Amino acid sequence: MVGIASTSNYDTRSSFSNFGSTDVWIAAPGENIVSTYPGGTYASSSGTSFSSPMVAGTVSLMLSAKQQPVNQSQASKALANAQKLTPDLNQGRLDVYQALSAWLSAR
C-alpha cells in the first residue's frame, strides 16, 4: 500500500490532501486534471483520486518498458526518484521520467 498526496499546478501540496510521513509516501498532480466526463465530454476536476492513477500508471509503464516483473521494493526504489518539495510530502512529487530511467538502469 502506498499513501499518495495531491499537488497543485505550482508543485505545492493541495489544500485538500493528506500529508506527513505516516500518511504519504509520494505525491502526484491532482488539481485541475482534465479527464473524460459523462456524456462524451471532458471536464477538469481535482482530488487524490487523480493522483493515485498517475503513480499506478508509472508502475505500469515500468512493467511494459522492461518486460519483467517488478516487486514492491524495486517499484518503490524507482518511484523514490521524485522531485523533492517539502518534508510533509515524504519522497516528493512523482517524476515519471526519473522513475522510468531508474527502473531501466536497475539490474
Q: How many Å from the N-terminal Cα to the C-terminal Cα in the chain?
A: 24
Can you give the pLDDT at residue 70? 83
Can you give the pLDDT at residue 72? 87
State the residue for C-alpha cell 487524490.
Answer: 48
Identify the band that residue 107 occupies on the pLDDT scale cut at 50, 70 and 90: low
Contact 16, 46 (CB under 8 A): yes
Q: For residue range 3-50, list pLDDT tens digits in order.
A: 999 999 999 999 999 999 888 999 999 999 999 999 999 999 999 999
Contact 37, 43 (CB under 8 A): yes
Extents of the domains making up the chain: 4-105
The CATH number for 4-105, chosen from 3.40.50.200, 3.40.50.2300, 3.40.50.970, 3.40.50.10320, is 3.40.50.200
State the residue for C-alpha cell 493541495.
Answer: 14
Q: Sign of the C-alpha dihedral, residues 103, 70, 31, 45?
A: positive
Q: For residue range 46-99, list pLDDT tens digits in order.
A: 999 999 999 999 999 999 998 788 888 889 999 999 999 999 999 999 999 999
User: The whole model's pTM is what?
Assistant: 0.89
